[in-house]
Amino acid sequence: MVEAQRLSFIRANQMLIRCDILNELQEVVNRGETYSSLIGRRIVLLASFTGGIRYMFNNCQDAMAICKKFGYPDLFITITCNVN
C-alpha cells in the first residue's frame, strides 16, 4: 500500500524530479526522432526509492567505498530463526 502510494506520487510529480534531464530526451531529438510515439515517456524513480536501479547502484558504490577504506570482510554470517 505504501509503496503504491510512493509510486503514484513519483508518477504525478515528474516535473519536480526534473525527469527531462535524466531520461535523455534531448539525445533522442538530436538523433532526429521527432515523433512522440517513438520517444515514449519514461518514469524516473528517485535514488531513494527502495529497490530501484539508482538505489541499488548507490548502495553498491557505498559498499565498495567501505571495502576500500576498511578492507574486505573476513566473515559472512547468516542467521535463521524458527518462529515455532
Eight-state DSSP code of residue 44: P
pLDDT at residue 45, rounded to an integer: 79
- What type of residue is 55? Y
Task: Please say if the pLDDT value at position 33 is more than 70.
Answer: no
Task: Please say if the pLDDT value at position 8 is more than 80.
Answer: yes
Contact 45, 53 (CB under 8 A): yes
| Percent of the chain with pLDDT strictly greater than 90 | 19
